[in-house]
């Protein structure tokens, strides 16, 4: 009978522990990591997925609710979750070792979004029955109210590290505004009697959704020249524009009778259907290296599909028996 010395057993155990930790750390260092919320046994949890190797691991314990977990370039995770009877914005490290709560624990705070440099977090907070935009520099910075209008201000999106856009109905309809956080200068960028919303930025170009021609379509505004173009050009609903790092624009369109992921061209050529599914495809999101991921209703649940750069067909990389949602790439 073989016998192993206690020292050898200890060394083997330490090696196993070290390898497990290295695998977890390696997942976060790999730029092919996707974050999403999945529901198992009615409990949601944030999960990390290696898009290349198919490895998954739960990042959070099972909680009651997660609102669009979003990552900073510095490896911090922000999300909204119920705390003490209201919705609170939570910041945590990638290992969940440290947590802090932003905003006011007596009021609802939702929809966090990091500045490009990862130093600031903007979010929407409800105060005295209306919604305003707030920013805070990490866990220790002072909380600052960016908007103070009697109307609702929602959907913050960073233009750069100094300017923030948001959607407001302060003129009686939805418009997209930009505020300079240093000077306080506020501009109504769309200023149209119909609804404009869902802004997405690529340098000076702002893609947004507008119903100014009778249905929701994707427009691109050059904020330097004022040039405006309808780039979706359809009678069906088009929504959810997202820019790639090299200036490609993906969006969701219902022009085929169901939700599909389309890629828009800025040269006037027709948008291209890149999901090619008979079911619903939603929530497109780009990685830093130009991969496109989205959620597709596959076999009655939503799975994660990824289209690699240079490919024409997306691959189902979860093939799960339960739905995934709130999809984003880990920087």
State residue 291's pLDDT score: 95
Question: Can you list the alpha helix ranges (DSSP code H) found in 146-256?
Answer: none
Distance CA 28, CA 34 (A): 10
**Which residue has tokens 């597709």?**
296
How do residues 76-109 score in pLDDT, each as one tens digit? 889 888 777 788 888 887 666 667 888 776 789 9
Task: Classify residue 171: in a domain, yes or no.
Answer: yes
- Give whichever of 44-58, 179-193, 299-313 has the largest mean pLDDT: 179-193
Mean pLDDT of 46-73: 81
**What secondary structure letter does DSSP report for 225?**
T
Task: Classify residue 31: in a domain, yes or no.
Answer: no
CATH of residue 164 = 2.120.10.30
Give me the count of residues in the chain. 331
Task: Classify residue 55: in a domain, yes or no.
Answer: no
Domain that holds residue 69: 65-191
Q: In what order do the strands lie in the sheet with 281-286?
A: 281-286, 292-298, 301-307, 315-316
State residue 63's pLDDT score: 65
CB atoms within 10 A of CB 2: 3
Residue 230 predicted with pLDDT over 70: yes
Q: Are strands 196-202 and 175-180 parallel, antiparallel or unpaired?
A: unpaired
Q: What is the rounded average pLDDT for all residues in the chain?
A: 85
pLDDT bin (cut points 50, 70, 90) of residue 64 is low
State residue 265's pLDDT score: 81
Task: Classify residue 121: in a domain, yes or no.
Answer: yes
How do residues 248-297 score in pLDDT, each as one tens digit? 999 999 999 999 999 998 888 889 999 998 889 999 999 999 999 999 99
Task: Classify residue 128: in a domain, yes or no.
Answer: yes
State residue 47's pLDDT score: 87
Task: Classify residue 223: in a domain, yes or no.
Answer: no
How do residues 318-329 score in pLDDT, each as one tens digit? 888 888 888 999
Tally the domains of the chain: 1
Task: Classify residue 156: in a domain, yes or no.
Answer: yes
Task: Classify residue 274: in a domain, yes or no.
Answer: no
């Amino acid at each position: 009978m073989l016998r192993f010395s206690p020292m050898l057993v200890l060394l083997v155990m330490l090696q196993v522990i070290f390898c497990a930790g290295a695998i977890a750390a390696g997942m976060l260092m790999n730029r092919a990591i996707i974050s999403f919320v999945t529901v198992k046994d009615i409990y949601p949890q944030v999960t990390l997925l290696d898009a290349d190797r198919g490895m998954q691991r739960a990042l959070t314990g099972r909680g009651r609710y997660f609102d669009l977990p979003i990552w900073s370039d510095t490896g911090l995770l922000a999300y909204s979750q119920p705390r003490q009877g209201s919705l609170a914005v939570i910041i945590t490290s990638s290992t969940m070792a440290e947590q802090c709560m932003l905003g006011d624990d007596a009021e609802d705070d939702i929809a966090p979004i990091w500045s490009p440099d990862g130093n600031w977090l903007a979010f929407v907070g409800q105060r005295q029955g209306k919604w305003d935009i707030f920013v805070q520099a990490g866990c220790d910075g002072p909380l600052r109210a960016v908007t103070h209008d009697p109307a609702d201000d929602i959907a913050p999106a960073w233009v750069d590290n100094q300017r923030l856009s948001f959607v407001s109905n302060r003129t009686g309809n939805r418009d997209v505004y930009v505020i300079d956080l240093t000077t306080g200068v506020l501009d109504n960028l769309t200023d149209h009697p119909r609804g404009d919303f869902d802004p997405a930025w690529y340098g000076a170009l702002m893609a947004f959704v507008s119903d100014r021609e009778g249905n929701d379509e994707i427009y691109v505004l050059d904020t330097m020249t004022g040039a405006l173009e309808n780039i979706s050009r359809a009678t069906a609903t088009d929504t959810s524009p997202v820019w790639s790092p090299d200036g490609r624009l993906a969006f969701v369109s219902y022009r085929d009778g169901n939700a599909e992921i389309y890629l828009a061209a800025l040269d006037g050529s027709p948008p291209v259907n890149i999901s090619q599914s008979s079911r619903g495809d939603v929530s497109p999101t780009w990685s830093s290296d130009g991969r496109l991921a989205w959620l597709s209703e596959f076999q009655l649940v939503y799975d994660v599909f990824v289209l690699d750069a240079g490919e024409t067909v997306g691959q189902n990389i979860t093939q799960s028996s339960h739905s995934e949602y709130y999809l984003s790439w880990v920087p």
